[in-house]
Chain A
């Protein structure tokens, strides 16, 4: 009982609960919001239900984030192994240069070759998702003290065992912070993806802005903001759950 009480005080629980309640309740709530808007405003978004939008948004972000994390982690591992260390500075520079490019511009530029819809959005999501994971992965793996690595080598660990048992666990807190940034950026980029036709929580916002319907804009913004904050807080909880690294 006391544990349940402590759990309920965690922000992720109540923000997540509000998010879920609104996701499934928005359809029923929307018709009663008429007093907020001009008379005659259409109140119920009909292109897709809100659970569908959330599912589509989560699927797109989740799939792209997994790919981005895999690529980013692989690049970070490569750049911190003896064979790839020569490329670390180059990868850093490419990352910094790519970060200069505005996401909306990249998204729009992908349309002529990839068409409208989820594909250009997924491309941009992966592109911008890789950078924080790669940066954090490199920083995390480099932060492992040389003495620890030498001790592992002295104990007779193979490079693979050393990586798995020593380096990755010690790099995990910094790495997870990179994943958190990556996923947050991903949720934001997926929202913008609705400007090129991807079905996400950005769709009611874009349809509302172009159709002069503040009700759709409000419903979309509130849900997507809650979604982003919930996911961010959830990864924050995972960060807290990691064993603290002694200094």
Chain B
């Protein structure tokens, strides 16, 4: 008998039969990049481009050997599918890989600062980034496939804790990224907070309005088509244009009614940014709410009505609990998308992490770009992981 296409479980998921290819592949890639690319890059100052140092030159034989040893351990573990704790151990090794490469790069930076003076900038090279991303991929893969909740959370928490300890120990302070942060600590914290505020306000707007639209489309199916067609058009408009599109009308509006300006409504600044973020989140939220509610079997709703529940009770006790997986997924995807889009808010004078990216692009200061871009990526990853964790906790099974 043939097994129907696509219904067969992926062999990697069948415990104890196959060698896990992904960790092997990633370790091999990381090894290749480490041998080819520079581990760190040393530049004479902040704006000049630098020359790469290999792992061997930057970290010495001991450092290089210990990194290679971790890659070897990951490869060995990948070939032992029968091991009960295989996934957890691979994830822990991946976390160790990330932390050790960061520590080695930090120590190399300290040595260079002593040897070549304060203006020297030591930034992270292609070899480092490959190792770091390889570790990140393995962690994500492990968290996804490990069935036990403790097994999912432990490697992530251990890595985060190690990262916090590494930063607190001051070993990373001489890396160009840390120095870029140190000279603008207050501004960074302000813009980070602003980024969170913009995203939060945009998300709240999208949840309230999009949720209402989704509920309406569920209650009145004949209206769903046109409503989603309109939202689709909004989603089609390029994000940059949507941010900028509001400048004109809002400027005209505040010109006609100056009183609006006292409410914080203006053509540029946070107000149009939040409005644009809210508009962009409208379709995903409305579609998610509609899809989640529509997936609840009508018979269940009928039964609830038969038991004498009121409309509100049906929503609270039947629809929302049954639609919860889809609703949580919608929340996660929308939040991650808005965190990324809020970077553009800096272009219309609303601040946020994009400020550093666009300042850095203007000054061709790669470290400043990196500070903003990495923060935005980290924020998106943290939000994604946290909401996956929340879904796991609330639903007692992995998010779809």
Q: Is the CB of A104 within 8 A of B233?
A: no
A214–B252 alpha-carbon span in the complex (Å): 11
- Residues A103-141 near B (CB distance < 8 A): 103-106, 108-109, 111-113, 141
Could you give, for residues 239-274 of chain B, a 1 whenever the CB lies within 8 Å of some chain A CB and a 0 otherwise?
Answer: 111001101100110000000000000010000000
Contact B245 A225 (CB under 8 A): yes
* A221 partner, pick from B7, B244, B357, beta carbons under 8 A: B244
B2: chain A residues within 8 A (beta carbon): 146, 150, 153
User: Would A195 and B358 be within 8 Å (CB), given that A90-B22, A93-B140 are in contact?
Assistant: yes
User: CA separation between A247 and B245, bound complex, in Å?
Assistant: 42
Evaluate contact between B240 and A108: CB separation under 8 angstroms: no
Residue A224 lies at the interface, judged by CB distance under 8 Å to chain B: yes
* A90–B241 CB distance below 8 A: no
Q: Is the CB of A191 within 8 A of B369?
A: no
Q: Is A196 an interface position by the 8 A CB rule?
A: yes
Please determine whether A187 and B384 come into contact, CB atoms closer than 8 angstroms. no
B236→A228 contact, CB < 8 A: yes
In the complex, the answer to whether B240 meets A192 with C-beta atoms within 8 Å is: yes
The answer to whether the Cβ of A89 comes within 8 Å of any Cβ in the partner chain is yes
Q: How far is the CA of A230 from the CA of B141 in the complex (A)?
A: 39
Give residues of chain A (52-83) contacting chain B, Cβ–Cβ below 8 Å.
80
B12 touches A209 (CB 8 A): no
> A146 touches which one: B4, B11, B252 (CB < 8 A)?
B4
Distance in angstroms between the alpha carbons of A224 and B267 in the assembled complex: 20
Chain A residues contacting B232 (CB-CB under 8 Å) are 232
Q: Report the bound CA distance from A202 to B343 in whole Å.
A: 16
A168 at the interface (CB under 8 A from B): no
- A77–B372 Cα gap in the complex (Å)? 37
Residues of chain A within 8 A (CB-CB) of B141 are 90, 93
Are B340 and A88 neighbours in the complex by a CB distance under 8 Å? no
What are 20 residue pairs bridging A and B, where the CB atoms are less than 8 Å apart in the complex?
Answer: A87-B10, A102-B341, A103-B340, A112-B366, A112-B369, A113-B126, A141-B5, A142-B6, A144-B5, A187-B238, A192-B238, A195-B361, A202-B238, A202-B241, A205-B240, A206-B240, A209-B347, A217-B248, A221-B244, A225-B241
Q: Which residues of B contact A (CB under 8 A)?
A: 2, 4-8, 10-13, 18, 21-22, 126, 137, 140-141, 144, 232-233, 235-241, 244-245, 247-248, 251-252, 267, 336, 339-341, 343-344, 347-348, 354, 357-358, 360-361, 366, 369-370, 372-374, 376-377, 380-381, 384
Q: Given known contacts A192-B238, A209-B244, A217-B244, what 12 new A-B pairs fall within 8 Å (CB)?
A: A85-B10, A88-B10, A90-B12, A99-B336, A102-B339, A103-B340, A104-B343, A104-B357, A113-B126, A192-B240, A221-B244, A232-B232
